Chain A
């Protein structure tokens, strides 16, 4: 059931490739706007790179949150999924996993290229990848709470931003902290460990909150 659900979501996403690509291009465009707004000085760009990449990743992943449950909610599939004998926790986990693969993994892949634009060293690029790999699942799973709470509401997209962005702050701090540490030449290990801890804790608790929110929204 878990694997089936993940597979189904992946196929559905594949059939709507344009949506996925839109998120990736949003990420690319947002990060490219910063040098245009701030100026091409190499040192400045290097200083702001960690924050820019992470903030853009935050915004891009927030944009795609509506897709976790939105379509299934509209055609009634979600209701059936909640009614199945399997724990809703697993349903949530499967959908979050699929969302991460579809919407966040491309960001992780593309981020090093954007890092090059900002003049990051190879060492820092590795940290960018690792920190995004650890951090983006947290974004997906915490974002799923907001997505579940705002199902079927008017102005759901704006509302999701209000609800979810404050909760993203620790991830932003740890993630960009790690990259920043590597840029100034110290060890990013502490930040990455914190990020990993956040990942473990949020994977344990957030799906539970999401399934509670789903049951409230669906009934």
Chain B
């Protein structure tokens, strides 16, 4: 990413960014794959069995990073969409579009793995806990953004409308979060909190490695996506015909 920061203006043009992204993808994809393998190995074979939750806690090694990425990517999405709208930067809007799918997938993964973990740990697939509920709402926000963008045919309008929605959403996220938390404290009976358990160092290591892997994976996959989006949107551009060969 640092490359783009130096020559911001040059690489803000899709024609220049497209080949650069193509070159950068392996540098993120390969480390992501390696880190995933290491993380899964440490998580499954090195980290000790938890004395309370048994083996099932190991699903958290994918659940926690996915949840973090889901939230973080929404902020990134709003930032890129905002830049694209404010400065009329096409590439930033394309980045926002590329991020939206990845973020939604991570949020979905965190919901699914969370309920898979909740079944043995809490005895239920789903509880209306503040964190679960706000993750679910985050998923709704992603779906809203994606469906708004895909239902507007004019690309320029789609980008800007998406930006307004993303920014409104990002302002609303803290409000939603706190309201859900207060709502949750109102209904005390239903609350089941995760018992905080002390982490063994190898558990923490697995978690951090998986987080790094998810992070780098996101960069790689967003770059792949943004290349497809550039190809789709710039179909008519002569440079693409040259570059595609």
Contact = CB atoms under 8 A, between A and B. Distances in A.
Interface of A: 145, 149-150, 153-155, 159, 162-163, 165-167, 169-170, 173-174, 177, 180-181, 194, 198, 205-206, 209, 212-213, 216-217, 219
11 contacts: A145-B165, A149-B164, A150-B148, A166-B169, A170-B175, A174-B179, A177-B186, A194-B182, A216-B157, A216-B160, A217-B161
Interface string B178-189: 011011001000
Contacts of A162: 140, 143-144, 147-148
A163 B176 contact: no
* From A163, A177, A219, residue with most partner B Cβ within 10 Å: A163
B140 A173 contact: no
A104 B235 CA distance: 47
B164 A163 contact: no
B151 interface: yes
Interface string B151-179: 11000010011001101110110011001
Given A150-B148, A153-B152, A209-B167, A173 B160 contact: no
Given A154-B151, A216-B157, A198 B175 contact: yes
Given A153-B151, A166-B137, A166-B176, A213 B161 contact: yes
A180 B182 CA distance: 13
Given A170-B175, A170-B179, A173-B180, A155 B164 contact: no
A166 B141 contact: yes
State the main secondary structure of chain A at its contact with B.
Answer: helix
A205 B180 contact: no
B24 to A, nearest CB: 32
A173 B183 contact: yes
Contacts, number: 72
A217 B157 CA distance: 7
A165 B140 contact: yes
Contacts of B186: 177, 180-181
A216 B151 contact: no
A212 B160 CA distance: 9
A177 B183 contact: yes
Given A209-B167, A216-B161, A170 B151 contact: no
A159 B151 contact: yes
Contacts of B179: 169-170, 173-174, 194
B90 to A, nearest CB: 15
A174 B182 CA distance: 9
Contacts of A167: 168-169, 172, 176
Contact of B165 (A149, A194, A206): A149
